[in-house]
Amino acid sequence: MSRVRIVTDSTCDLPAEVRRDLAVEMVPLKVHFGEEVYLDQVTISPEEFYRKLEASSVMPTTSQPSPMDFVNVYEQLAADPETESIVSIHLSSDMSGTYQSAVMAGQMVKDKGIDVAVVDSRMASTMIGAQVVAAARMALAGCSKQEILQMLELAKTEVRVVFIVDTLEYLRRNGRIGRAASLIGGLLKIKPVLTVADGVVTPLEKLRGSSRVLPRMIELVSENAASGDPQVVYILNANCPDRAKELESMLTEAISIESLMHTSIGAVIGTHAGPGTLAVVWHGTNLWPK
């Protein structure tokens, strides 16, 4: 087992088998349907969430983990004598208090000799997941905490995303719309293409008509993929797997791909982005250990 252990939260939207294979520990956020409370990626799967969202008359809300939720995980990992340090990577602090909870937990276990470095990913969903995968690969390869932290600082500019939503209403209603607030109103025939920049949702451009959306997403990825080098790619969908497959087919013809993973957008991010959200996350292989 690695000397450095990686912790993340459920908004990374990485499949359980990926987290298991990479020895990543996950702290779940919560999803509330009225009085019903679920642990994201633990007691409610993405598929169950979208079925419940469609059937429910109650709009879900979300809440962050408590500091003690993180303390329990940090102490569990530190109980292994092989563990020297913990790197804990989380949802953008501009979107959630999850990062602050992890910081508080790190301070609470410091007196017990547990070394925790908490990282604000400045990202969401599998943008976080891409950082987590890169960090976990480095940890398993024997890299030091400092080497992993240096990579994660680079990843904040190297990991990129373009995404679309069926409607901006979920982002607006849940207060996560960021700089895309300017797009509200008069958008019945306009499809915004969005990204995450400086930790918040940010509009890239507006397209007229849905037929232009997927080709333009491919163009944006191609324009920003480093000089034709192979890319590590994640395709995310919120209950629209057929569109994700269509996007994959177009993408594989447009760029050189080193690795491609499909992920489902989970309950917490799905609460804020809404069903029908589709995204491409990508970065170069320079973030992976050789």
pLDDT digits (tens, 9 = 90+) for 221-277: 999 886 778 999 999 999 999 999 999 999 999 999 999 999 999 999 999 888 999
- Residue 64 pLDDT: 97
- Residue 189 pLDDT: 62
Pairing type for strands 85-90 and 116-120 reads parallel
160-287: which CATH topology?
Answer: Hypothetical Protein Tm841; Chain: A;domain 3 (3.30.1180)
Tens of pLDDT along 38-64? 999 999 999 999 999 999 888 899 999
- Which amino acid would we find at residue 41? Q
Which CB contacts under 8 angstroms, 24+ apart, belong to 147-156?
148/4, 148/87, 149/87, 149/117, 149/119, 151/287, 152/87, 152/89, 152/119, 152/121, 154/286, 154/287, 155/130, 155/131, 155/283, 155/287, 156/121, 156/122, 156/123
Q: pTM score, two decimals?
A: 0.92
Instruction: Name the residue among 29, 28, 30, 35 with its Cα closest to residue 56.
Output: 35
- Residue 180 pLDDT: 45
- Residue 181 pLDDT: 46
- Residue 208 pLDDT: 73
Q: Write out residues in the chain with pLDDT < 50, as ranges.
A: 176-177, 179-186
The full set of domain ranges for the chain reads 4-157, 160-287
Average pLDDT, the chain: 91
**Is the C-alpha dihedral spanning 195, 254, 270, 116 positive or negative?**
negative
As a CATH number, domain 4-157 is 3.40.50.10170
- Residue 185 pLDDT: 46
60 vs 53: CA distance, rounded Å: 8
